[in-house]
Amino acid sequence: MLYQEVSQKIYYSNEEYVPIGEIAHSLIALEALIKQAPDVLEALFPDSSIINVDVFINELKSDSIWEDLVVKFIFGSQQRFDECIENTRQKLGMEEIMNNPKFLSAVIIAMILGGGAYYLGKSNSPSDQKAKATIEANNNTIIQIGAGMVDMSAEEFTTLVITAIKDKDKLAKNAANIVKPAKRDSNASITFNEDPALSISNDSVKAMPEYKATNEEQDETIEDFPNINLEIRAIDLDSSKRGWAVVAPSLHKRRVKLQLDPAVKPSDLLNKSSVNASVTVIWGVDSKNQKIPKLIFLREIVKNSG
């Protein structure tokens, strides 16, 4: 399995200590947002295929918050890796895209600011529209930087980023939680990779919305099952995160989206009607306030059947 690592250094300029729980929620939201980035990168580079992304903490300091992260893009095979590099070489004339942390920074910031603007755009409040304009002004600068790195127009770059994100409500939620620690300080901004041009300005930090969770999100829980039977209803051998669906009869009769752990080979499930597996289940509630599985992560195949 081939992969490419890209570092990301993120600095919150808070002058006061930030509670560890708030930092943790921000990091979890950042990881979730970065896991949406492959959709954007695949839209920017249509011949590339990223099957998963992992995010690791290299170093974390608190006073002002300093986060040194490693983002690992997993391609799954030498061919997929070579195709991605070849595609980016055609765009840039070199392999810079996967070796330049600042390009990924521009994509991440554009996603954060785009998520905030999307959420505010659902409101007709004059104050929310003013805040949206502030965020979009900041994002226009970031988009110009990102577009310049891949030899695109700002309009083309913006369109590809916006259309690539399928779950914009999730993006908005993560964006708000990423910025939340900075909102504790009236003068704080967020800078990526020590480049002042790649930053979420203080005005944008103030303008970012406070995300209000729905009842379903508030009631979301996570539970591990070491050995459970899954009936396979849909597969996609080209992706570990899209196109998969199962029914877990012992949990619920509904069909549920499945996501594979990077250690699980999609081919291991080929021609199987069911498997026994170690899984993590994300639970939500339906309109009748009944507990239902929303997403199942297949961690390990325990025993194949059928």
Residue by residue, pLDDT tens for the chain (306 residues) are: 566 788 899 999 998 888 878 888 899 999 999 988 888 887 877 766 677 788 888 888 776 788 888 887 676 555 555 555 555 545 543 345 556 789 999 999 999 999 999 999 988 899 999 999 999 999 999 999 999 888 889 988 888 888 888 889 999 999 999 999 999 999 999 999 999 999 999 999 999 998 766 554 555 678 889 999 999 998 887 776 678 999 999 999 999 999 888 778 888 888 889 999 999 898 887 777 788 898 898 988 986 544
DSSP for 205-260, written as a single string: HHHS------HHHHT-EEEEEEEEEEEEEE--TT-SSSS-EEE-TTT-SS-EEEEE
The span from the CA of 133 to the CA of 139, in Å, is 10
pLDDT at 190: 97
Count each helix (H run) and each strand (E run) in the chain, helices first: 10, 10
Token pair, residue 198, equals: 């790649």
Confidence (pLDDT) at 89: 47
Q: What pLDDT, on a 0 to 100 scale, did the predictor assign at position 82?
A: 59
Residue 215: per-residue pLDDT: 52
